[in-house]
Amino acid sequence: MMKLSKPTVLNQQPLKNRIAMAPMTTYSGQDNLFPSQAEIDYMKLRACDVGLTISPAISINHQAQAFENQITLKSDDFIEPMRPFVKAMQAGGAKAIAQLHHGGRMNVPKLYQNPQDIVSASAVKVPREGFVVPRPLSIEEIKTTINDFAEATLRAIYAGFDGIELHGANTYLLQQFFSPHTNKRSDAYGGSLSKRLRFIRELIEAVTTVIDQYAPKDFIFGYRFSPEEIESDGITLDDTTYLLDYLKDTKLDYIHASMGHYEQSSLRDDDEKTPIVKTLLSALNKQKPLMGSGGLRHFEDLQKAETLGYDYMAIGLPLIADPKAVEKIFNKQKPNQKIIKSSLPQPLYEKLYKNKDRFKKRGITF
């Protein structure tokens, strides 16, 4: 037995192991954006063997929705309908974490009647077809957006979640503020590294205030980030070291690295072969636990991830293909890799199937 498969305690909450179901959008909410029964059933099946279930990204206000039929906590109307979904996430004894999200410039334009609702740090468009030039948030709107995250946190508490994770990764709004590639502001929220961090800092302070005031003492608070961007003026590992140096002194209970592979070395420097995790761990200086993600498929991956120093590991695609993936990996068995169409909410299956060549490379088949 190894550390990652053993029970532990996170902010006083007992976890059956240190494996989390990775946050994975299902595109399967109802048209009114309440969780659908198909999504609830899907989650219940997969939550059985993990210590933590992290929800699909949940939008926090009317400008935050990035995907079709993405579930939301944008108003109080969504608290009650969220409860069965939270219960499904907890059904096997896992702790349920709400991933709170704002898509910023990554939002799909067809979801918005008013193009002015697609916002970001600056007017820098995603250089791909199907996106629009976002409108930079005013300082007043930044404060409102932070307040909307705080209110969504309160709703997550009321809906019965055991914790929240701020989605600061995968090029969404929080990352857009931190990145010199997407943040060209010259006010208090852009320019120097410290000013690019300001949005995240104020956000964490606002959410901390809500948690301190309204959440149970053992409510879990996590933060997900992407360590690098590939653009020449994008986020570097030095920038990320600065971010982690700040995060390690906050109220956060865990820090979650979003990567294609847990062993990954720098995307920006081909000559550098050291796994990025070394840099992340040294920046965190053992002050916060680190959750890794990406490419956990077999028992050997667990061993390697543990040797590299990850305190927790999230697992994504294998759980989509096989609800028993975690138990099988613990038992040195191979999880099923083939997606069974009838076991997934239909929109999720369709999304995966549309990109099947990409997903096949990552170890699932159709």
Ligand X SMILES: Cc1cc2nc3c(=O)[nH]c(=O)nc-3n(C[C@H](O)[C@H](O)[C@H](O)COP(=O)(O)O)c2cc1C
Pairing relationship of beta strands 312-315 and 19-21 according to DSSP bridges: parallel
By CB under 6 A, tell whether 25 contacts ligand X.
yes
CA angle, residues 357, 23, 312, in degrees to nearest 5: 105
- Work out whether 119 is an interface residue with ligand X (CB under 6 A): no
Residues with Cβ < 8 Å from 23, sequence gap 6 or more?
Answer: 54, 55, 56, 57, 99, 165, 167, 224, 314
Minimum separation from the CB atom of position 351 to ligand X (A): 6
Least distance CB 317 / ligand X (angstroms): 4
By beta-carbon proximity to ligand X, the closer residue of 136 and 227 is 227
Total residue length of the chain: 366
**DSSP-assigned letter for residue 259:** -
Distance CA 297, CA 318 (A): 7
Residue nearest to ligand X (CB): 316
Tell me how far, at minimum, the Cβ of 307 lies from ligand X, in Å: 18
Q: Is 170 in the site for ligand X (CB under 6 A)?
A: yes
Q: Is 325 in the site for ligand X (CB under 6 A)?
A: no
Query: From residue 232 to residue 261, what is the string marking binding to ligand X with x (rule CB under 6 A)?
Result: --------------------------x---
Shortest Å distance, C-beta 57 to ligand X: 3
Site for ligand X in 59-118 (CB under 6 A): 99
d(CA 180, CA 231): 10
Distance separating alpha carbons of residues 351 and 361, to the nearest angstrom: 16
Q: Judged by CB under 6 A, how many residues of this single chain contact ligand X?
A: 20
- Which residue of 145, 224, 323, 349 would you call a contact of ligand X, by CB under 6 A? 224
- Residues with Cβ < 8 Å from 246, sequence gap 6 or more? 197, 200, 201
Sole binder of ligand X in the list 135, 167, 181, 288 (CB under 6 A): 167
280 binds ligand X (CB under 6 A): no
The reply on whether position 323 binds ligand X by CB under 6 A is no
Least distance CB 363 / ligand X (angstroms): 7
Enumerate the H helices of the chain as residue ranges. 37-46, 79-90, 139-159, 173-178, 193-214, 237-247, 276-284, 299-308, 317-321, 325-330, 346-354, 356-361
Nearer to ligand X, 236 or 264 (CB): 264
- Closer to ligand X by CB, 135 or 329: give it: 329
The answer to the question of residue 23 lying near ligand X (CB under 6 A) is yes
Smallest Cα–Cα separation from 145: which of 226, 65, 71, 199?
199
Q: Which of 240, 266, 361, 254 is nearest to 313 (CA)?
A: 254
Closer residue to ligand X in complex, CB, 250/258: 258
- Kindly state whether residue 222 participates in binding ligand X, applying the rule CB under 6 A: no
β-bridge pairing 290-293 and 254-257:
parallel
Q: Which of 57, 88, 157, 283 is in the footprint of ligand X by CB under 6 A? A: 57
Residue 305 C-beta: closest distance to ligand X, Å: 11
Using CB under 6 A as the criterion, which residues of the chain lie in contact with ligand X when the complex forms?
A: 22-25, 56-57, 99, 167, 169-170, 224, 258, 293-296, 315-317, 362
